[in-house]
Amino acid sequence: MYNRKESERLHRRKLMKTKLIAVDLDGTLLNDKQEISVKTREALQKASRLGIKIVPCSGRPFPGIKEYLDQLDLQDPNQYVVAFNGALVLNAQGNAVVEELLSYQDFLFFEKIAQQLKANFHIEVSDKFITLDHFINYYLSRESWLTRMSIEVCGFKDIAKDLKFTKAMFSGAPSEMERVYRHLPKEVIEKYNVSTSDKTLIEINSKQASKGNALKELAQKLNLRQDEIMIFGDQKNDISMFDVPDFYKVAMGNAVLEIKKRANYVTRTNNEDGIAYAIRRLIFNE
């Protein structure tokens, strides 16, 4: 018979050695108003004071993450973030310590697919979006606002052949993204890391770039064991973290089923201080 209290007691014993907490942003750290709640901020700051590293892990670029670092008082150069779904790991000053980038040839490949599928396509570099589309749809505009990054519309001849970029993206209405995803060539799925953070975006990274791989590399740099890491997430672009066997995996109450099935623990939703609830119960023993 399942005993919730006994299960949580065993979890707490294991998690006394937690040295790093990795948190997704949208739908996890942030509530639906795009805010860190007071209880969540206080719980993470308390963990930080106890010497536990707090690492935001997001599909967002660094400019779209930095304000939340500031809110959590994580400005020290020895604090880190995982950005662009794992294409970059940076310190709190924005200096990259891990890079898994795409190239000009990748850009040509995806631009051709976009034309074939008649899909809105753009790429992300470190500080802006670049697109050949002269029509900027609502979904890219919203992403620009959320990430605090500008949109640059270029002609094909303006794209440098030594281009390096973090992520390719298709954007559109949910039904449109379902159509695009169904018709992506098999080669895309095989050669790249394809994920979604919501139903209006398809995000494509280098095969080596994922939140899970980025956290594993960061753990090596920090001399941490994988069983000393706790993760929080809610969406399919968090699956790579939830597939690392020794991470302690906490799914938000609002998480998709694929995340909940992989979790060690399911907490409350992002609108119910889910991170704070789990940390207080599992780490602080409150």
Q: What class has domain 102-206?
A: alpha beta
DSSP symbol at 26 = B
| Predicted TM-score of the model (pTM) | 0.85
Per the prediction, the chain carries an average pLDDT of 93
Q: At residue 136, does pLDDT exceed 60?
A: yes
Per-residue pLDDT averaged across 125-147, rounded? 91
Distances (CA, A) of 137 to 60, 124, 170, 245: 18, 16, 11, 39
b/e per residue, 127-158, with b = 16+ CB within 10 A?
ebbbbbbeebbebbeebbeebebeeeeeeeee
Which has the closest alpha carbon to 143: 104, 91, 196?
Answer: 196
Q: Which amino acid, one-letter code, is at 245?
A: P
- Return the active site residues: 24
Predicted local confidence at residue 14, as pLDDT: 55
Q: Tens digits of per-residue pLDDT, 4-26?
A: 554 555 555 455 689 999 999 99
In this prediction, residue 182 carries a pLDDT of: 95
**pLDDT value of position 1:** 35
On the question of pLDDT at 266 being above 50, the answer is yes
Specify the CATH number of the domain 4-100+210-282.
3.40.50.1000
Inform me whether the pLDDT recorded for 201 exceeds 50. yes
The residue that leads in pLDDT, 196 or 231, is 231
> pLDDT tens across 69-90, in order?
999 999 999 999 999 999 999 9
pLDDT at 190 over 50: yes
pLDDT, one tens digit per residue, over 250-261 is: 999 999 999 999
* Structure tokens that stand for 180 in this block: 């695009």
* The predicted structure's pLDDT at residue 62: 93
Structural domain boundaries of the chain?
4-100+210-282, 102-206
CB atoms within 10 A of CB 221: 11
pLDDT of residue 30: 98
AA letter at 15:
L
Q: Tell me how far apart the alpha carbons of residues 86 and 180 are, in angstroms, rounded to a whole number.
A: 23
